[in-house]
Amino acid sequence: MCRVEKSERKREMGGGGGVFKGEKQQQLKSGGGSRMKLWMIRATTSVLLWTCIVQLTAIGETWGPRVLTVWPPCFNRESDAASAIVQDKVPSVPARVLPPKRVYKNNGYLMVSCNGGLNQMRAAICDMVAIARHLNVTLIVPELDKASFWADPSEFQDIFDVDHFITSLRDEVRILKVLPPRLKRRLELGRVYSMPPVSWSDISYYHNQILPLIQKYKVVHLNRTDARLANNGQPLEIQKLRCRVNFSALRFTTQIEELGKRVIRLLRQNGPFLVLHLRYEMDMLAFSGCTQGCNKEEVDELTRMRYAYPWWKEKIINSDLKRKDGLCPLTPEETALTLRALDVDPSIQIYIAAGEIYGGQRRMASLAAAYPRLVRKETLLEPADLRFFQNHSSQMAALDYLVSLESDIFVPTYDGNMAKVVEGHRSWDEFSAAVKEAHADRMGGPSSRMVIPDRPKEEDYFYSNPEECLQPSSFDPLSST
């Protein structure tokens, strides 16, 4: 199914080549027909892959009604799982069953400060829970990044349901909101051991290097968390726990969930909708150095910003080369062309899941001309609804994320963390059912992640294909009874 879809799309694009090229040269002023074609193929590869996945969802309507919010089968029996019964705070939800606490000898306390955007932090939280569990330590509720470009002052509990996080994981690891008083004083006196763990380490690093430090200092603070646990080669229990945290322990606050539902309702009233994750905010352009279509002042501003952030390592960037290597997000203009080339209906509603688009209206003009029904959370909701979300980019991102999950078609213009987690969703239940049906006589199961021992950065990303969690027969620890 996927392959057919893809080659058809390629053909469509080939067919429309004349129009496409003409417009492109006009808008992007790039020369060289064949080189352009080559670039186009590269630049749209990720979009094609995505569309291939997401089209299945849209087509899925012919295979049966859309099932909303489906988790992999290994997790949806969470509530049958256990022993103690607790009344959930939301009255409409029936009594929830919580697992019994795990009893273990505590080796100390682990504090973590996550860095990056919402989805990167989300992955980091999953990793850190798994690490804390493995080391038999007590995890303090992670601190979220407040210093990134987005400068979101939100705390964990502003975004995630913190009580659910703590209680639903209590059969694995003890989690506290704050350090016990005695240790808290040490923290206030600055006498807590703080360090960034080594990227892409496997769990033995935490066992051999970090655990002794925790035992020595009682509290260790890991002050960066991105990509800190390897994707591959980890014990099965760790992989499963990472998924469990992600899929069932991390739940957005009711406030965010409710608003998300409202946005989805408003969109659904007007028919199907496409979510466009238009990754064209200032930070993206400054970081990637992709300045196609920007004017001189903008290029200067973006360059200044890149130099202002010391942790962005790459400073000298040739925008054209980067783009030819397929490493740039699609510009809004290119996005309009790509959507048209993909035959996306010009009358479809397009929800822009993004922060402020750099260059504003000027850059959005061709997209708005091709797709007049562009909406954003700010246009669907009253300012009062978003009052508490303003200046809280992670909460805004959470809202966009919820809407993305429910979209009929999801198109990311860059293969970032958000695209990956939405893929994680799309690639299960409904997708799996569709693939299985289409490939009834072939092997359609989850695939093994690509492992490249010396280049962890290039390996398949754990969170885009958590194969260990996608095998119902071999993993179902929560079923039984």
Ligand X SMILES: *[C@@H]1O[C@H](CO)[C@@H](O)[C@H](O)[C@H]1NC(C)=O
Q: How far is the CB of 239 from ligand X (least distance, A)?
A: 9
Return the structure tokens found at 208.
């051999």
8-16, 58-66, 241-249, 295-303 -> range binding ligand X (CB under 6 A): 241-249
Return the structure tokens found at 103.
């009893």
Nearer to ligand X, 167 or 239 (CB): 239
Q: How many CB atoms lie within 10 A of CB 477?
A: 11
Residues binding ligand X: number (CB under 6 A): 19
Q: How far is the CB of 133 from ligand X (least distance, A)?
A: 9
Question: What's the one-letter identity of residue 327?
Answer: L
**Could you give the CA distance from residue 113 to residue 124 in angstroms, rounded to a whole number?**
9
Return the structure tokens found at 309.
């952030």
Q: How far is the CB of 391 from ligand X (least distance, A)?
A: 4
Site for ligand X in 390-419 (CB under 6 A): 390-391
Site for ligand X in 244-273 (CB under 6 A): 246-247
Q: How far is the CB of 140 from ligand X (least distance, A)?
A: 16
Token pair 């899929």 in the structure block, residue = 247
Q: How many CB atoms lie within 10 A of CB 209?
A: 13
CA atoms within 13 A on the CB side of 262: 16
**Could you give the CA distance from residue 142 to residue 466 in angstroms, rounded to a whole number?**
23
- How far from chain centre, in Å, is Cα 89? 27
Return the structure tokens found at 332.
């809004």
Q: Do the beta carbons of residue 53 and residue 423 sit within 8 Å? A: yes
In the complex, residue closest to ligand X by CB: 424
Binds ligand X by CB under 6 A, chosen from 24, 174, 377, 425: 425
Binds ligand X by CB under 6 A, chosen from 25, 27, 107, 199: 107
Q: φ and ψ at 157, to 5 degrees?
A: -70, -10
**Could you give the CA distance from residue 122 to residue 133 in angstroms, rounded to a whole number?**
17
Nearer to ligand X, 44 or 231 (CB): 231
Q: How far is the CB of 407 from ligand X (least distance, A)?
A: 13
Q: How far is the CB of 465 from ligand X (least distance, A)?
A: 8
Q: How far is the CB of 287 from ligand X (least distance, A)?
A: 17
Nearer to ligand X, 311 or 440 (CB): 311
Q: How far is the CB of 97 from ligand X (least distance, A)?
A: 20
**Could you give the CA distance from residue 279 to residue 413 in angstroms, rounded to a whole number?**
6
Binds ligand X by CB under 6 A, chosen from 394, 463, 475, 478: 463
Nearer to ligand X, 204 or 318 (CB): 204
Rule CB under 6 A: is residue 388 a binding residue for ligand X?
A: no
Return the structure tokens found at 172.
């694995």
Nearer to ligand X, 116 or 424 (CB): 424
| 173 to 202: interface string for ligand X, x by CB under 6 A | ---------------------xxx------
Q: How far apart are the first and last CA of the chain?
A: 38
Write 96-105 long-range contacts (CB < 8 A, 24+): 98/167, 98/168, 98/170, 99/168, 99/170, 99/171, 100/170, 100/171, 101/170, 101/171, 101/174, 102/170, 102/171, 102/172, 102/173, 102/174, 104/136, 105/136
5-13, 28-36, 77-85, 421-429 -> range binding ligand X (CB under 6 A): 421-429
**Could you give the CA distance from residue 221 to residue 193 in angstroms, rounded to a whole number?**
6
| 210 to 229: interface string for ligand X, x by CB under 6 A | -------------xx-----
Q: How far is the CB of 194 from ligand X (least distance, A)?
A: 4
Kindly list the residues in this chain that would bind ligand X in the complex (CB under 6 A). 104, 107, 135-136, 194-196, 223-224, 243, 246-247, 390-391, 421, 424-425, 463, 466
